[in-house]
Structure 1
């Protein structure tokens, strides 16, 4: 039986921690809505914060994007892609909304 190297064990722990955090954040999101422990006005802000933390966890543990010099370029490329997609999506919604208004 092949023994795993210390680097493989470290990598496995890293992924396991990311998975655990992702499951915990997902459970917290579902729990905040399903249990009714939070007032109605706090549910949406709580979900937004949990979603942002989930994005950071996904970037760090699964995409291996952090703030080191080498990874910063990857992060900039990813953020630019997100910006372009947001411009296209919101631009489309804006044009379609304007067309709907003009036809009514």
Structure 2
């Protein structure tokens, strides 16, 4: 490899490194969205003017949106590149395994406790 090819490769890797970590602007957008998506359910609960069902569904919906914001703005997962798709599917598979392990463990503990009580 010649010196110019090495320099070009190093420059491409540097650009890729900068793109994969995001900028101050993307972190600020993510932070502001996270604060808003936290403040709305908090305000709904503190206000108490909404029904329990409306409050619960609002919290769940805004929590899902906040998960997406964290994945996009802080973890930089996207579907635009092949590497982004692979990272996203890896993350989703890991999350599925964790949810299954925790959920099934809680279910087993709950059922064991219920059987011990009778």
Q: Could you state the TM-score of these two structures normalised by the residue count of structure 2?
A: 0.73
Q: Quick check: 1:98 aligned with 2:111?
A: yes
Structure 2 residue runs without a partner (length 5+): 1-17
Name the CA distance, whole Å, in 1 between partners of 2:85 and 2:110: 37
Name the CA distance, whole Å, in 2 between partners of 1:40 and 1:91: 27
Q: Quick check: 1:30 aligned with 2:51?
A: no
Runs of 4+ in 1 over 4 A off after TM superposition: none
CA distances 1:34-85 after superposition (whole Å, capped 9, x unpaired): 1123222201000000000000000000100111232111111111111111
Name the CA distance, whole Å, in 2 between partners of 1:102 and 1:36: 38
Please point out which of 82, 89, 94 is paired with 1:76. Answer: 89
Q: Could you state the TM-score of these two structures normalised by the residue count of structure 1?
A: 0.82
Deviates more, 1:28-37 or 1:54-63: 28-37
Structure 1 residue runs without a partner (length 5+): 1-6
Name the CA distance, whole Å, in 2 between partners of 1:33 and 1:97: 28
